[in-house]
């Protein structure tokens, strides 16, 4: 029995299944691509950015016709200014301008730590009507050391040159008056031009946190 054959045989268990020791980095050195039949998942991480006392985070590449839906996930977003919302805007010129006209709606549900307040209501101050302003996707974040927010936003078929561009966002924050507050936003960018960049920023001041961008197959 040759050395290679003996080594292979030593890594086969009694049930005929290869042992874990049979696999190492070297065993995959010659693999250049996965077979098309091997599933690789439908949620593809395209890029990740982290704010550290930053004014904004902008995604100016990777938004194209490859995917019909793009998702942005917000992880531990912490405002440096008290009681300001996180918002976004869209660009059709790769980030030279963030001024796409938008129409939207916004509602929230909240519950205070002391159990004194709880409600579900429409928030007209955060909706847009043919406005180029940033779209808020949270209520006012607190800037305490442990106060932050998270959630996600979906942008649908941004590369279309036929239809307007719909978006939805769901977030939850530690609100500045010590509440758990969930925000629900939906709207559309009223343009038939392709959207190819997205910018996130607070309505005032800087922020910390990570934003991930995924493409959905």
Supply the CATH number for residue 60's domain: 2.60.120
Residue 41: predicted pLDDT:
76
Query: Is there a domain that residue 106 lies in?
Result: yes
Query: Is there a domain that residue 26 lies in?
Result: no
Q: Measured between alpha carbons, how far is 120 from 152 in angstroms, rounded to an integer?
A: 20
Query: Is there a domain that residue 35 lies in?
Result: no
Structurally, the chain folds into a number of domains equal to 1
Residue 63: predicted pLDDT:
98
What is the tens place of the pLDDT at every residue in 29-62? 555 665 655 556 799 999 999 999 999 999 999 9
**Considering the chain, what is the average pLDDT of its residues?**
90
Q: Give the H/E segment covering residue 122.
A: strand 118-122
CA distances from residue 10 to 19, 22, 32 in whole angstroms, order as listed? 9, 9, 27
**Residue 38 CA to chain centroid, in angstroms?**
26
Query: Is there a domain that residue 61 lies in?
Result: yes
What is the tens place of the pLDDT at every residue in 84-140? 999 999 999 999 999 999 999 999 999 999 999 999 999 999 999 999 999 999 999
Specify the pTM. 0.82
Tokens 């963030």 correspond to 98
Residue 50: predicted pLDDT:
98
Query: Is there a domain that residue 144 lies in?
Result: yes
CA distances from residue 64 to 149, 152, 157, 166 in whole angstroms, order as listed? 28, 19, 9, 15
Lowest-confidence range among 22-31, 68-77, 120-129?
22-31
Residue 156: predicted pLDDT:
98
pLDDT > 90: percent of the chain: 81
Query: Is there a domain that residue 190 lies in?
Result: yes
**Is 42 buried (19+), middle (13-18) or exposed (0-12) by CB count in 10 A?**
exposed
Lowest-confidence range among 8-17, 50-59, 128-137, 171-180?
8-17
Query: Is there a domain that residue 34 lies in?
Result: no
Query: Is there a domain that residue 6 lies in?
Result: no
Look up the domain containing 57 and give its range.
42-216
23 against 145, higher pLDDT: 145
What is the tens place of the pLDDT at every residue in 184-211? 999 999 999 999 999 999 999 999 999 9
In this model, does residue 7 exceed pLDDT 70? no
| Banded model confidence at residue 9, pLDDT cuts 50, 70, 90 | low
């Amino acid at each position: 029995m040759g050395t290679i054959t003996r080594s292979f045989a030593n890594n086969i268990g009694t049930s005929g299944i290869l042992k874990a020791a049979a696999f190492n980095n070297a065993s995959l050195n010659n693999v250049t691509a996965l077979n098309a039949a091997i599933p690789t998942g439908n949620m593809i991480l395209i890029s990740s950015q982290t704010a550290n006392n930053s004014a904004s985070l902008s995604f100016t590449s990777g938004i194209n016709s490859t995917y019909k839906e793009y998702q942005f996930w917000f992880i531990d977003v912490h405002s440096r200014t008290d009681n300001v919302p996180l918002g976004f805007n869209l660009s059709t010129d790769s980030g030279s301008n963030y001024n796409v006209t938008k129409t939207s709606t916004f509602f929230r549900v909240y519950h205070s730590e002391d159990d004194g307040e709880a409600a579900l209501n429409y928030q007209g101050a955060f909706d847009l009507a043919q406005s180029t302003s940033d779209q808020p996707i949270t209520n006012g974040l607190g800037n305490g050391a442990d106060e932050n927010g998270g959630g996600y936003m979906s942008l649908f078929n941004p590369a279309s040159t036929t239809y307007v561009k719909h978006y939805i966002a769901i977030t939850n924050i530690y609100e500045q008056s010590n509440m758990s507050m969930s925000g629900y936003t939906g709207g559309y960018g009223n343009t038939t031009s392709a959207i190819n960049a997205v910018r996130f920023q607070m309505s005032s001041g800087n922020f910390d946190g990570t934003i991930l961008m995924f493409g959905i197959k």
